[in-house]
Amino acid sequence: MSAESLPYIFLNAAIINNFVLALFLGICPVLGVSGRIGTAFPMGVATAFVMLISSVAAWLINEVLTAFDLEFLRLIAYIAVIASAVQLVEMSIKRFSPALYRALGIYLPLITSNCAILGVALFQTDYEYDLLQSLAYSLGAGAGFILAIVLMAGLREKVDLADVPSVARGAAMSLMLAGILSLAFMGFAGLGG
Amino acid sequence: MATKRDEQPITLDTFLSGIWRENPVFVMLLGMCPVLAVTNTVANALAMGLATTFVLLCSTALVSVLRRLIPKEVRIAAYIVIIATFVTVVDYLIQAISLEIYNALGAFIQLIVVNCMILGRAEAFASRNGVLRTVVNSLGMGAGFTLALLCLGSVRELLGAGTLLGVPVFGEGFEPWVVMLLPPGGFFVLGGWLLLFAWIKERRQAHAATQEVAADER
């Protein structure tokens, strides 16, 4: 597979360079909301959805800004788009599932400051992807994010039942788990190369 | 500007709380992404820490100046635009100063925008305090953040490459632990530091508890 082909871009973003486990983007929600699979999965889907919207919007904005030589406004424009996309998702979740809305709590508006989303927008600009490639990239990044957050939640549900020394409870344990997961994902490094 | 009434005094604690008691990385677990991503060498960690401190300082100061003018409903959006402006400044600044560091940090400079620590300080501190107090607090927070980055960066560079700031430390026979430079190393080292701090805290509490018991018996 060539590095430009759509399946490779998808796999690359989802597994080889997983946003959470290899690029360290979007760590906060992964550590914060991954207590239970039941909340982790919807959070992942919401994030992936925002990623998709903002990726398409970021591509459009970049085309416009480049046409007018206004690249220095890129960052501010991207952030504004992401913030509005999050608002949209927040309103629809509140409307369709108030219970889920409460479970996600503060982490829902915080999707705005999820670096994975801005990361998708910035990286696709850096790599100079066209619209289809950007779509494949953001879908892959979203799938990778869901994968990582659900895997983390599954591990943490198991660890809750284990007898962990009291100093290691909480954040330190989650980080060690993430480290082990990340080690496992390093095995994909040669894939498709 | 600040009225006399809501102005609390600036104490040493305003500065120190960011370094130890409310350390953004080790205690509050904020702004983790850059902490893990760019700390594979001490030089990168230092550059990232200073860049973040600069953005934190400028944007919280501006938020504090404008805090009576920004309507409550759109404050988050306003804060983000302020932060994004200063990040753009830093982005071009680093590019001008050192292209090498700029390439090493890559997109993570622009990702300072979404560092939750900065938004958190703007919302929790700068929007309620005067300019001077905010500046002092932000300096402390920035120093704490930089210190945490250096803690991680030095361990990872020392074990992963056997060097410190590019200078070899262990001599010829040292076999570098390459995994420390790779992504899993970041998670493991930060987890290790958190374990260390949790252990110190627990020992202190146990110590205080035994002293209390001893005092009661007397």
Taking a C-beta distance cutoff of 8 angstroms, is the pair A168, A42 a contact? no
In total, how many domains does chain B have? 1
- Among chain B residues, the shortest Cα distance to A118 is held by B111
| Inter-chain residue contact A31 with B183, CB threshold 8 Å | no
Taking a C-beta distance cutoff of 8 angstroms, is the pair B156, B40 a contact? yes
Other Cβ atoms within 10 Å of A87 Cβ, number: 15
B109 and A CB contact within 8 Å: no
| Residue entry with tokens 């001008």 | B96
Residue A3 confidence (pLDDT): 63
Model pLDDT for residues B113-129, shown as the tens digit of each residue:
888 788 888 888 888 88
Residue B2 confidence (pLDDT): 42
Model pLDDT for residues B135-164, shown as the tens digit of each residue:
888 899 999 889 988 988 888 888 888 878
Taking a C-beta distance cutoff of 8 angstroms, is the pair A145, A114 a contact? no
* Residues of chain A scoring pLDDT < 70: 1-3, 106, 192-193
What SS3 string covers B37-58?
A: HCCCCHHHHHHHHHHHHHHHHH
Report chain B residues whose CB lies below 8 A from the CB of A126: 106-107
- Among chain A residues, the shortest Cα distance to B83 is held by A76
| Inter-chain residue contact B37 with A23, CB threshold 8 Å | yes
CA B118 to CA B15: how far, in whole Å? 16
Note whether residue B189 is domain-resident. Answer: yes
Model pLDDT for residues B158-172, shown as the tens digit of each residue:
888 887 877 777 777
Q: How far is B204 from chain A (nearest CA, A)?
A: 12
Q: How far is A176 from chain B (nearest CA, A)?
A: 6
- The answer, yes or no, to whether residue B60 has pLDDT greater than 50, is yes
Residue B4 confidence (pLDDT): 43
Indicate the angle between helix axes B131-161 and B42-65, nearest 10 degrees.
170
- The answer, yes or no, to whether residue B206 has pLDDT greater than 80, is yes
| pLDDT, mean over chain B | 83
Residue A146 confidence (pLDDT): 92
B105 and A CB contact within 8 Å: no
| Inter-chain residue contact B110 with A27, CB threshold 8 Å | no
- The answer, yes or no, to whether residue B1 has pLDDT greater than 50, is no
Note whether residue B181 is domain-resident. Answer: yes
Percentage of chain B beyond pLDDT 90 is 10
Taking a C-beta distance cutoff of 8 angstroms, is the pair B52, B70 a contact? no
Amino acid, single-letter form, for residue B218: R
| Inter-chain residue contact A24 with B186, CB threshold 8 Å | yes
| Residue entry with tokens 């939750």 | B116
Mutate: best of B23, B26, B32, B90, partner A, most A CBs <10 A: B32
Residue ranges of domains in chain A: 6-183
Domain residues for the domain of B61 are 13-206
Model pLDDT for residues B77-91, shown as the tens digit of each residue:
888 889 999 999 999
Tokens of A94: 């509140």
CA neighbor of B90 nearest in space, from B127, B118, B44, B56: B56
pLDDT-derived band at B216, boundaries 50, 70, 90: confident
Interface residues of chain A, partner chain B, Cβ below 8 Å: 21-28, 31, 72, 75-76, 79-80, 83, 109-110, 112-115, 117-119, 122-123, 126, 166-168, 170-173, 175-176, 178-180, 182-183, 186
Note whether residue B170 is domain-resident. Answer: yes
Note whether residue B59 is domain-resident. Answer: yes
Report chain A residues whose CB lies below 8 A from the CB of B114: 79, 112-115, 117-118
Q: Which residue from A24, A115, A172 is facing B195, i.e. has the nearest CB?
A: A172
- The answer, yes or no, to whether residue B218 has pLDDT greater than 60, is yes
Report chain B residues whose CB lies below 8 A from the CB of A123: 107
Q: Calculate the alpha carbon distances from A89 to A36, A54, A79, A181 in Å.
A: 21, 12, 15, 29
Model pLDDT for residues B21-59, shown as the tens digit of each residue:
777 777 777 777 777 888 888 888 888 899 999 999 999
Report chain B residues whose CB lies below 8 A from the CB of A129: none
Residue B7 confidence (pLDDT): 58
Q: How far is A187 from chain B (nearest CA, A)?
A: 12
Taking a C-beta distance cutoff of 8 angstroms, is the pair B130, B64 a contact? yes
Percentage of chain B beyond pLDDT 70 is 96
CA neighbor of A46 nearest in space, from A121, A103, A1, A8: A103
Residue B59 confidence (pLDDT): 92
